[in-house]
Structure 1
């Protein structure tokens, strides 16, 4: 079984070793053919606290680390200017 990956934007870094990442899912509505955007927030483990607010990151699925945290930061794709 291949591990899942998700790409999103960091929206919170207030916890220790944990980031909150907003992931967008775009799909066409089956009846109306309009593009629908759904968002979901994932908690991810960031051991070295390298991700900052607004960074674009890749998450990798992992074992459950807490009640809601089942993802690990794999890579920071794009840093923010601030």
Structure 2
């Protein structure tokens, strides 16, 4: 009897911004990546649009979503759009726009 091999879920995931949400259950997501230029070898921004499945029509234009590879849903759709989980910021960051250092802005200082 062969040993059980663990299933590796190495699915391709990307992150992008919704640019079109007018179709039913479909969103167009623009993914921006940095890639070296073929001739000049400088890193340049490359954009590509993907059609993604949005079964509940929950995403609007401007939302940031995560694309996860799935079985082909239609001729052009083979990704599923998922909400991006908000990351907790680094140490010392508090409420408001105080940045990374945890220092309050002048407008947030109590009036003396």
TM-score of the superposed pair, with normalisation by structure 2? 0.63
Shift of 1:28: 2.9
1:48-67: CA deviations, max 9, x gaps? Answer: 11111011110100000100
Corresponding pairs, count? 78
RMSD: 1.7
Write out per-residue CA displacement over residues 3-52 of structure 1, whole angstroms, 9 at most, x where no aligned residue.
11010000000100000000012023365342211111100000111111
The structure that is strand-richer by fraction is: 1
Runs of 4+ in structure 1 off by over 6 angstroms are none
Structure 2 spans left out of the alignment, 5+ residues: 1-8, 87-112
**Alpha-carbon distance between aligned partners in 2 of 1:73 and 1:17, rounded to the nearest angstrom:** 10
Greater relative CO, 1 or 2 (CA 8 Å, sep 6+): 1
